[in-house]
């Protein structure tokens, strides 16, 4: 946990922002795998972690602004619990560490809420992303389960987003730690991967690095010779010389902060010339985007710069043609780059995604483009501020099904040389990704330098164990 | 997947047993970790796997006995899905592989069920253990979400338990594979663990063995120097010479079948004499129980034999006293052995636990003892049958909180020498566990022999990498 004062300050700021009412925080419960008592690794809700820091299931908390009270609702362990799970810090002790005094049994929550409701007090709560919490909130507030998300508090969402977006020094230390462990995960992969190995062997080794640091992986590992499949969690292929390997993986620290890095490297010792061409285009887009990071710049514009760089590079090798500014404006480059250049990062790898992308990545004056293919997957568009933490992750992906679909519709044929594109249909995909914090006059990369240039990557690939 | 015919036969038998009505099977959906699109490793529901074998989220299926129809409800991938997740086998192809022809979109399920309800057809369904499915079933059938489990079909539960309890040859091959991988997980741990290493390093290496075989772990790994904490998933301690290390871990195969093994070994190279004494008592109980496994024997009696062996051993070293048959009958041994000797195993590590322990482990003539400490944790009591698969896992655990509680109440002081017991309060815990299939005239151990005797374990601990 962070120091007490950090949690107290966060809650005080939130109370001040909202001004009145009750804020209801739901901690997460255990998630069953295949029966109730066989559960996935427990993950506390990120907003609960942010304001209370307590890693324990079946908690709830109330910040009662009108009565100036903060209460955590939860139960202490019974002797049966101790027999099965061992003596641990008491809930009272954990709550003390997060700067609070009052603890009430979980069963007292319902009466607390009902009493407030009869007085007409507004109960602010966040939209639940877990079904268990949707049921709990519906029961507590007496609303229909399918209305819960709709009735979530917009002022609370906005206040939480405003706070969690600006990372404190302590948080940046933690995010830095996550990025260092993530870099070690990638370093190991680039050192041990060899033709003939199964993707799953290397993915498992990467996973081990995260676990052995006492944390976990921040999201399911993408480790694949089919980098063009964007969310690919299949690990059943065997690496062959000539393949490109895309590794998108990151660590979560003990406190819950995420790292999110991507590298693409040759399964053999060197890139082919064609692979070098595409890799260089992606790398240029990466440097273009990184160079543009600073307060007051819209990330939407950073994204467009990256897209333009990709398009110009693709034009130079004959895959695109015509006016690239216009092509990017209209979305033609999205045949090769179907997603966004980056996203906010923090306690969630896509930070606060469950609170709504419009609130997290856009603003009242900049609405998300939910129509244009490519742009609709850009999670972050608004002006950057000092202490935002985000990713930069351009890529080029040749997706045969998408190429065929667009070609059959002659989509953007004024910008795309389909005949040349077809020669790349089995190329695969390339992405590179690092994590950055926005500083007063630019940005700083989190973690440590991880082989990025063609020379650096090939040097690691020639490393012998 | 198994061969088509296996799924067809299972469904036909189930239909014949139930005779009429509709059987509704709910597949699992994705489980969010910290936001909707960051999900845990997908695990299909075991009963859905048993009857359909299809590993895909958001499916449901209906066996309409009256109309002799089997339908899988689910959606094919859109072009957007293919961009993000790659082309996969179509649902139609997967359904074909499980011996079916008919696939309908998920949206058609509600009307199918409502139409059947208007005709007064009985809809049989199983109690959901995931909140998402509780909500789906409540919506589909128009019942209150908190009544769903209560309204589950007892005839369906009994029919599914009867079928899933008897493992087919193909299933035993798969369970054997799970046990072999699990043994490799343990072998590695016994080879690499050294004083000075953190529990998490070794747990991560064990995890890697399971992942690299293309499957997963069947349940969260217990790897601890505090073996007396029965469900201990903390991996933060450093191994010290003199410690005992308890490793309870098992693999899940690609088809979803579980292995479940436990070994306890010295963190250093050899057991101390006191450790050898307790280990030998546990081992004797293990052999006693294994020797008693055969059809028509009640597992409750196997458990009692194991408990008696433990009690006699504890008496021999002065921790218990008096008539041990009587002590076990009354539950005095449960100070040292607080749980059951074993449980059913299959697609779930505690097979079918969500269907109700009374149905799975007991019978109409043998009710579960839900009162007596120790016995109330015995998941399996009924007469064994050929083709049951189960675990044998006796242990001795010194739990300081429990010892203090019982001592302060002078509980069973006619059988327990509390003064001597206190000398063992920091001993920890020992368990050994293997998996067995019941044969026509006894039992066979699944997997492969894994170091068990003191000599075998010490030989491995002296292995140098």
Give per-residue pLDDT as tens, B10-49.
Answer: 999 999 999 999 999 999 999 999 999 999 999 999 999 9
Total residues found in chain A within this entry: 465
Cβ partners under 8 Å of residue A369, min gap 6: A375, A376, A378
Phi, psi for residue B443 in degrees, rounded to 5: -155, 165
Structure tokens at A266: 């040759």
| Site of tokens 């795309």 | A416
B86 versus A394: which is more confidently predicted?
A: A394
For residue A175, which of A448, A457, A461 has the smallest C-alpha distance? A448
DSSP per-residue string spanning B105-169: -GGGHHHHHHHHHHTT--EEEPPP-SHHHHHHHHHHHT--GGGTTTTS-HHHHHHHHHHHHS--H
H or E, element range at A38 = strand A38-39
- As a whole number of angstroms, the distance between CA A75 and CA A58 comes to 8
Quote the pLDDT of residue B88.
Answer: 80
Using DSSP, state whether A242 is helix, strand or coil: coil
H or E, element range at A160 = helix A154-165
Q: Which residues of A touch B38 (CB under 8 A)?
A: 219-220, 348-350, 353
If pLDDT is split at 50, 70 and 90, which confidence band does B332 have?
very high
Using DSSP, state whether A307 is helix, strand or coil: helix
B338 and B283, same structural domain? yes
Which value, in Å, is the radius of gyration of the alpha carbons in chain A? 24
- A190-219 residues touching B, CB cutoff 8 A: 198, 200-201, 203-205, 207-209, 211-214, 219
Query: Could you tell me if residue B296 is left (phi over 0), alpha (psi between -120 and 50 degrees) or otherwise beta?
Result: left
Q: What's the Cα-to-Cα distance from A37 to each of A351, B362, B442, rounded to whole Å?
A: 29, 19, 31
Taking CA–CA distances from B347, the nearest residue in chain A reads A34
Q: Which residues of A touch B214 (CB under 8 A)?
A: 198, 200, 235-236
What CATH number corresponds to the domain at position A14?
Answer: 3.40.350.10
Q: What's the Cα-to-Cα distance from A158 to each of A19, A23, A153, A280, A359, rounded to whole Å?
A: 13, 13, 9, 40, 7
Q: Which residues of A touch B220 (CB under 8 A)?
A: 38-39, 41
DSSP per-residue string spanning B303-314: HHHHHHHHHHHH
CB contact under 8 A, A79 and B45: no
CB contact under 8 A, A34 and B354: yes
Closest Cα of chain B to A455: distance in Å? 30
For residue A205, which of B207, B191, B190 has the smallest C-alpha distance? B207
CA angle A316, A317, A318 (to 5 degrees): 95
Interface test with A, best of B28, B33, B89, B199 (most A CBs within 10 A): B33
Interface test with B, best of A34, A222, A346, A356 (most B CBs within 10 A): A34
- As a whole number of angstroms, the distance between CA B265 and CA B454 comes to 9
| Site of tokens 């307060």 | A295
Q: Which residues of B touch A196 (CB under 8 A)?
A: none
- As a whole number of angstroms, the distance between CA B268 and CA B270 comes to 6
Chain centre to alpha carbon of residue B92: 32
Q: What's the Cα-to-Cα distance from B323 to each of B329, B407, B409, B415, rounded to whole Å?
A: 10, 19, 21, 8
Sign of the four-CA dihedral B417, B420, B422, B427: negative
Cβ partners under 8 Å of residue B18, min gap 6: B65, B124, B155, B156, B159
Q: Which residues of B touch A82 (CB under 8 A)?
A: 399, 401-402
A150 and A297, same structural domain? no
Name the β-bridge partners of B245: B265
Closest Cα of chain A to B354: distance in Å? 5
- As a whole number of angstroms, the distance between CA B122 and CA B116 comes to 8
Quote the pLDDT of residue A465.
Answer: 54
Average pLDDT over residues B378-393: 98
What CATH number corresponds to the domain at position A174?
Answer: 3.90.230.10
Using DSSP, state whether A452 is helix, strand or coil: coil
Q: What is the mean pLDDT of each run of 10 residues along chain A (465 residues)?
A: 95 98 98 96 97 96 96 91 82 92 94 97 98 98 96 98 98 98 98 94 91 91 93 88 98 97 97 98 98 98 98 98 98 97 98 96 94 94 98 97 96 98 97 98 98 97 78
CB distance A95 to B414 below 8 Å? no
Closest Cα of chain A to B130: distance in Å? 6
B181 and B230, same structural domain? yes
CB contact under 8 A, A83 and B212: no
CB distance B246 to B221 below 8 Å? no
Closest Cα of chain A to B441: distance in Å? 32
Structure tokens at B354: 């969500």
B119 part of contact set with chain A, CB < 8 Å? no
Q: Label residues B126-159 b or e (16+ Cβ within 10 Å = b).
A: bbbbbbbbbbbbbebbeeebeebeeebbeebbbb
A131 and A183, same structural domain? no
CB distance B309 to B285 below 8 Å? yes
Q: What's the Cα-to-Cα distance from A311 to each of A380, A461, B222, rounded to whole Å?
A: 21, 29, 51
Quote the pLDDT of residue A129.
Answer: 97
DSSP per-residue string spanning B86-104: -----HHHHHHHTT--EEE
Quote the pLDDT of residue A386.
Answer: 98
Residue-range definition of the domain harbouring residue A323: 169-461
CB distance B407 to B424 below 8 Å? no
Residue B150 has pLDDT above 80, yes or no: yes
Sign of the four-CA dihedral B117, B122, B123, B127: positive
B443 and B372, same structural domain? yes
Total residues found in chain B within this entry: 465
Closest Cα of chain B to A326: distance in Å? 24
| Site of tokens 């010892």 | B403
What is the 8-class DSSP label of residue B276? H
Q: Which residues of B touch A32 (CB under 8 A)?
A: 129-130, 354
Sign of the four-CA dihedral A402, A404, A406, A411: positive
CB distance A391 to A343 below 8 Å? yes
Interface predicted TM-score (ipTM): 0.95
A357 and A282, same structural domain? yes
Task: Select from B43, B208, B226 the Cβ nearest to the Cβ of A86.
Answer: B226
A87 part of contact set with chain B, CB < 8 Å? yes
Task: Select from A130, A347, A405 the Cβ nearest to the Cβ of B32.
Answer: A130
Average pLDDT over residues B337-358: 97
Name the β-bridge partners of B239: none
Q: How many CB atoms are located within 10 Å of the residue B198 CB?
A: 16
B349 part of contact set with chain A, CB < 8 Å? yes
For residue B60, which of B25, B10, B95, B107 has the smallest C-alpha distance? B25
Q: How many CB atoms are located within 10 Å of the residue B80 CB?
A: 13
B306 and B336, same structural domain? yes
A343 part of contact set with chain B, CB < 8 Å? no
Residue B370 has pLDDT above 70, yes or no: yes
B210 and B109, same structural domain? no
Taking CA–CA distances from B88, the nearest residue in chain A reads A234
A454 part of contact set with chain B, CB < 8 Å? no
Q: Which residues of A touch B82 (CB under 8 A)?
A: 399, 401-402
Name the β-bridge partners of A262: A248, A433
CB distance A41 to B220 below 8 Å? yes
Q: What's the Cα-to-Cα distance from B395 to each of B262, B303, B372, B413, B430, rounded to whole Å?
A: 10, 12, 18, 21, 5
Which of A131, A165, A199 represents a domain boundary (last residue)? A165
Which of A133, A165, A197 represents a domain boundary (last residue)? A165
If pLDDT is split at 50, 70 and 90, which confidence band does B465 have?
low
Which of B130, B165, B200 represents a domain boundary (last residue)? B165
A434 and A369, same structural domain? yes
Structure tokens at A115: 């009493």
- A10-49 residues touching B, CB cutoff 8 A: 31-41, 43, 45-46
Packing angle between helix A169-192 and helix A199-212, nearest 10 degrees? 150
B232 part of contact set with chain A, CB < 8 Å? yes
B176 and B153, same structural domain? no
- B120-139 residues touching A, CB cutoff 8 A: 129-132, 134-135
Taking CA–CA distances from A349, the nearest residue in chain B reads B38
Quote the pLDDT of residue B463.
Answer: 79
A257 and A115, same structural domain? no
CB contact under 8 A, B86 and A234: yes
CB distance A60 to A106 below 8 Å? yes
B175 and B161, same structural domain? no
Domain count, chain B: 2
CB contact under 8 A, B40 and A32: no
Sign of the four-CA dihedral A97, A102, A104, A110: negative
Cβ partners under 8 Å of residue A116, min gap 6: A22, A64, A123
Q: Which residues of B touch A219 (CB under 8 A)?
A: 33, 38
Q: What is the longest distance spanned by two Cα atoms in chain A?
A: 74
């Amino acid at each position: 946990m962070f120091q007490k004062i950090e949690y107290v300050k966060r809650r005080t700021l939130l109370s001040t922002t909202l001004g009145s009412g009750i804020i209801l925080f739901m901690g997460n419960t255990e998630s069953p795998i295949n029966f109730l008592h066989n559960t996935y690794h427990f993950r506390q809700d990120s907003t609960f972690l942010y304001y209370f820091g307590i890693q324990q299931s079946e908690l709830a908390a109330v910040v009662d602004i009108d009565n100036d009270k903060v209460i955590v609702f939860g139960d202490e362990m019974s002797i049966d619990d101790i027999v099965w799970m061992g003596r641990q810090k008491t809930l009272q002790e954990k709550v003390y560490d997060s700067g609070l005094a009052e603890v009430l049994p979980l069963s007292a929550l319902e009466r607390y809420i009902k009493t407030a409701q009869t007085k007409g007090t507004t109960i602010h709560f966040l939209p639940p992303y877990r079904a268990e919490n949707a049921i709990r909130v519906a029961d507590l507030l007496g609303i229909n389960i399918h209305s819960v998300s709709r009735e979530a508090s917009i002022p609370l969402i906005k206040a939480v987003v405003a706070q969690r977006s600006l990372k404190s020094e302590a948080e940046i230390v933690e995010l830095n730690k996550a990025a260092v462990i993530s870099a070690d995960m990638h370093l190991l992969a680039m050192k041990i991967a060899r033709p003939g190995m199964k993707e799953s062997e290397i993915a498992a080794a990467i996973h081990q690095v995260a676990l052995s640091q006492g944390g976990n992986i921040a999201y399911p590992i993408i480790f694949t010779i089919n980098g063009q499949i964007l969310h690919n969690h299949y690990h059943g292929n065997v690496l062959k010389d000539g393949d490109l390997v895309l590794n998108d993986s990151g660590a979560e620290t003990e406190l819950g902060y995420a790292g999110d890095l991507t590298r693409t490297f040759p399964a053999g010792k060197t890139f082919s010339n064609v692979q070098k061409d595409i890799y260089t285009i992606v790398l240029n887009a990466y440097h273009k985007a990184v160079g543009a990071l600073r307060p007051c710049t819209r990330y939407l514009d950073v994204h467009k710069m990256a897209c333009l760089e990709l398009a110009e590079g693709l034009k130079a090798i004959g895959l695109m043609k015509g006016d690239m500014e216009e092509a990017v404006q209209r979305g033609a480059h999205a045949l090769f780059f179907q997603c966004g250049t980056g996203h906010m990062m923090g306690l969630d790898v896509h930070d606060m995604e469950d609170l709504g992308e419009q609130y997290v990545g856009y603003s009242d004056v900049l609405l998300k483009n939910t129509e244009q293919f490519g742009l609709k997957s850009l999670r972050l568009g608004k002006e950057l501020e000092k202490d935002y933490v985000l990713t930069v992750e351009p890529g080029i992906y040749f997706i045969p099904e998408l190429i065929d679909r667009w070609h059959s519709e002659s989509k953007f044929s004024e910008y795309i040389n389909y005949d040349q594109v077809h020669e790349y249909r089995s190329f695969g995909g390339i992405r590179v990704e690092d994590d950055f914090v926005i500083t007063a006059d630019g940005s700083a990369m989190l973690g440590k330098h991880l082989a990025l240039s063609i020379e650096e990557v090939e040097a690691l690939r020639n490393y012998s164990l």
